[in-house]
Amino acid sequence: MSKVAEVFETLEYGPAPESAQFANEWLEKHGRAFGHFIGGSWTDASTGVSFETANPATAQPIAKVSQGTVEHVAAAVAAARAAQPGWWELGPHVRARYLYAIARKIQKHGRLLAVLESMDNGKPIRESRDLDIPLVARHFYHHAGWAQLMEDELPDYEPLGVVGQIIPWNFPLLMLSWKIAPALATGNTLVLKPAEFTPLTALLFAELCQEVGLPDGVVNIVTGDGETGAALVDHPDVDKIAFTGSTDVGRIIREATAGSGKRISLELGGKSPFLVFEDADLDSVVEGVVDAIWFNQGQVCCAGSRILVQEGVAEALERKLRARMETLRMGNPLDKSVDMGAIVAPVQLERIESLVEQGRSEGAEVWQPSWSAPREGWFYPPTLCTNVAPSGTLAQIEVFGPVVVMMTFRTPSEAVALANDSRYGLAASIWSENINLALDIAPKIKAGTVWVNCTNLFDAASGFGGYRESGYGREGGEEGLLEYVRPTWEHAAQLQREPTANDGIAQPPAGGTPAIDRTAKLYIGGKQSRPDGNYSLPVYAADGSPMGEVGRGNRKDVRNAVEAARKAQAGWAARSAHNRAQILYYFAENLEARRAELTGRLATLSGDSEGASAEFDATIDRIFTYAAWADKWEGRVHHTPFRNVTLAMKEPIGVMGAVCPQAHPLLGFVSCIAPLIAVGNAVVAIPSEVGPLLATDLYQVLDTSDVPGGVVNIVTGLRSEVVPTLESHDDVDGIWHFGSAEDARSTESASTGNMKRTWVSYGRARDWFDRQQGQGQEFLREATQVKNIWVPYGE
């Protein structure tokens, strides 16, 4: 047979290698050794400790980079600090021009960046060239726009200051752009640490920043491993840490920064479900699986690593998948006709191998195509695992490699239960020709991104980030931008201290505590219940006379309250926003009817009758505010540049703990619960220790206002006895704690168990009467999380 005829027969691709010449020239120009980029110049690469970065496809070293020390990090933070005021003062337009110039540079050097990325990471050039680099440019263009608009769109916000950014190795330059673009757009300066396996494109990026004349110190790049990262996290002059990587390190960072006042955003791991309903177009599904789990060798935080397929089509899908896996091409990442490249490092390869072995020992059937992966370099073939139990290692642990499990379901509700049977919640894909079904399932899945009949699509306009242990904070979209700013009023308020209980509790009169017969109970699941321990606490008026007693809640009461909240939450969230608004208006109306009693109570407590009246008025006003917002805190439709609509939906976080401020026991309490319930959360509220009776007075008001039982639960008691249980409870999804700096530390630290969202005040006083500080969008944002649902259109 002739050669041409052979090709027709086999339809084999010939090699189509992309040249590494320019990348090698660039590396040679630097003597294949790099220092750190600090304050606009390079540290000496020949001094200090360095390490090698290797090409995963050949296992050969490419270049040496410096290991960042505590001193390097300190120098970089100092440079960023010095540069920050000037960078902010340049104003929106000039910053926009810089970001635009960076975007242009990236486009101009796109091929060089793509080749270097593929050499350092092992990903196919097709991916780095067609996906990573265009998205990097898109992020800088998009954020050049935000820089321009910031003054008009976020007039009451200012930059955080100096940001520390730590990124992983799976999308080195893309993750850099997701971090750097919003930080610069909002007037921050930064120190970024790339992953130790893939530092090279960040260093080339630093050079591009020099070329566009970015002011010295605005962007600093320090290379190194986890220790360098930890030094950045621990540096006291860093205002925020933005991290992408493993959930384990995310936890370490949460713990290390607890109570420091550093803002953090964490984009962590995932075990994303890929749901296939029986009416799905299976050929499209197969290509979807290729993109979901074999893209970037499965080293993708949102990889669709769990195929959940409806029973009737499971066999057919498996057959088609195996056939497709046989045709995947694995090899030299610089070959343009290669589908899969190499695994980033031997340690990652070993991790994949050992997890697959673990799965096999648990009974998984492991299938790989008949061709063998290249032996030179670090390769792992595409792998399909069946016969895996939902609780099995391969169904629960993030492999971060080209390994997918396939499990079956019968009904849509079983599919949702299986999909949510994970501690993660980063992304999901839903495949069905029935759009009604897909859009019914999408909101039920706990994930930050849901792709309908598509997968692994990203865009700067659409926020990306997780639910649950996949972390918090978003990258991209307006919500991503808001991670890098704070309200301007916070600055001025910094020196005022949030009152603590000791500031307010009147002392009992000399001669002991007189007997009182009225004891308010706890409020759990819509019922007044006696505290588990059967103890109570006295409450005193401003003049020291007794006002009454409240239940002294304990751990068991908190747990009961969380359980009641969990039972009520989904039903509450499923109500229409109009209905929640109506209930809040009704709440205000019923409260108004008790004006005399409550203002009297407030006046007795504070000894200030004028103040009591003002607090009552502000409380009614506040409830009206959130009744108004309930049906207006809406999502968006993003214009992502594909043939699709991306629906950004604001969803409640779930079960929320609210440790209310000590001051203004009525207004402070309502300022916490009203925004939370307005958007569909259920709450376990710990009222002010000073004036808990103002909260317990609300039981009947809540009942008569048709707030369903369990939506608001109130546990009175000593904070030291109830708050630790609440903030470490694994079924609480988020917690607000308006208290001291020490409170902030313990709340943030206790949150690491299930990585619950936290909102704390670090002891900074908030003026609860002030409309900007005491209410508004900041509260609603902290009460919700955004889910982006991508829905393609067209045939």
Residues that bind ligand NAI (CB under 6 A): 166-170, 193, 195-196, 225-226, 229-230, 233, 244-246, 249, 252-253, 268-269, 301, 348, 351, 398, 400
Q: How far is the CB of 195 from ligand NAI (least distance, A)?
A: 4
Q: Which is nearer to ligand NAI, 303 or 565 (CB)?
A: 303
Nearer residue to ligand NAI within complex by CB, 73 or 282: 73
Vertex 223: Cα angle to 118 and 132 (nearest 5): 30
DSSP 15: P
Which residue's CB is nearer to ligand NAI, number 38 or number 686? 38
State in angstroms the smallest separation of the CB of 545 from ligand NAI.
54
Provide the Cα torsion 764, 768, 771, 774; round to 10°.
60
What residue type is 255 in one-letter code? E
Residues assigned a catalytic role:
267, 301
Alpha helix segments (H runs only) across 420-463: 435-441
Return the number of the residue (225 or 532) whose C-beta is nearest ligand NAI.
225
Compare residues 246 and 754 and give the one whose CB is closer to ligand NAI.
246
How are strands ordered across the β-sheet holding 365-367?
Answer: 365-367, 383-386, 403-409, 304-310, 272-276, 427-431, 449-452, 784-792, 644-652, 636-638
Q: Which of 534, 501, 504 is CA-nearest to residue 519?
A: 534
User: What's phi and psi for 153, nearest 5 deg?
Assistant: -85, -30
Cβ nearer to ligand NAI, comparing 253 with 683: 253
DSSP 529-570: E--TT--EEEEE-TTS-EEEEEE---HHHHHHHHHHHHHHHH
Query: Which residue in 171, 164, 215 sits closest to 193, CA to CA?
Result: 164
The residue among 173 and 314 lying less far from ligand NAI, judged by its C-beta, is 173
* Structure tokens, 262: 């550093």
Among 685, 683, 686, 762, which Cα is nearest to 718's?
686
Q: In angstroms, give the least distance from the CB of 464 to ligand NAI.
A: 11
Nearer to ligand NAI, 266 or 682 (CB): 266
Q: Which two tokens stand for residue 599?
A: 């203002």
* 588 contacts 623 by C-beta, under 8 angstroms: yes
To ligand NAI, the closest distance from the beta carbon of 455 in angstroms equals 16
Whether 427 and 447 have beta carbons less than 8 Å apart is answered as yes
Shortest spacing between CB 373 and ligand NAI, in angstroms: 19
Question: Residue 569: how many CB atoms within 10 A of its CB?
Answer: 22
**609-630 helix and 595-606 helix, angle to the nearest 10 degrees:** 130
Of the pair 270, 531, the CB lying nearest ligand NAI is at 270
Q: What whole-number distance in Å separates Cα of residue 568 and Cα of residue 570?
A: 6
Minimal distance in Å, beta carbon 169 to ligand NAI? 6
The CA distance from 502 to 690, in Å, is 8
Which residues lie closer than 8 Å to 451 by C-beta, 6 or more apart?
A: 427, 428, 429, 430, 457, 789, 790
Q: Chain-centre distance of CA 17, in angstroms?
A: 38
* Nearest residue to ligand NAI, by Cβ distance, number only: 229
CA dist., res. 682 & res. 565, Å (int): 5
The whole-angstrom separation of Cα 472 and Cα 287 is: 30
CB contact set of 778 (below 8 Å; sequence gap of 6+): 487
CB of 302 to ligand NAI, least distance (A): 8
Least distance (Å) between residue 246 CB and ligand NAI: 3
Least distance (Å) from ligand NAI to the CB of residue 400?
4
E strand residue ranges, 336-469: 365-367, 383-386, 403-409, 427-431, 449-452
Residue number, 369 or 392, with CB nearest to ligand NAI: 392
Strands 784-792 and 644-652: antiparallel
Q: Pick between residue 237 and residue 597 the one whose CB is nearest to ligand NAI.
A: 237
In terms of DSSP bridges, do strands 427-431 and 449-452 run parallel, antiparallel, or are they unpaired?
Answer: parallel
Residue placing its CB nearer to ligand NAI in the complex, 268 or 677: 268
In the complex, minimum distance from the CB of residue 350 to ligand NAI, in angstroms, rounded to a whole number: 10
- Backbone φ, ψ for residue 590 (5° rounding): -70, -30
Residue type, 207: E
Whose CA is closest to 280, among 440, 450, 429? 429
Tokens matching residue 128: 């780095």
Give me 131's structure tokens.
């996906």
Q: How far is the CB of 448 from ligand NAI (least distance, A)?
A: 12
- For tokens 């409550």, what's the residue? 598
| Pairwise CA distance, residues 748 & 323, whole Å | 49
Task: Report the nearest approach of ligand NAI to the CB of residue 292 (Å).
Answer: 15
**Gap between the terminal Cα atoms of the chain:** 41
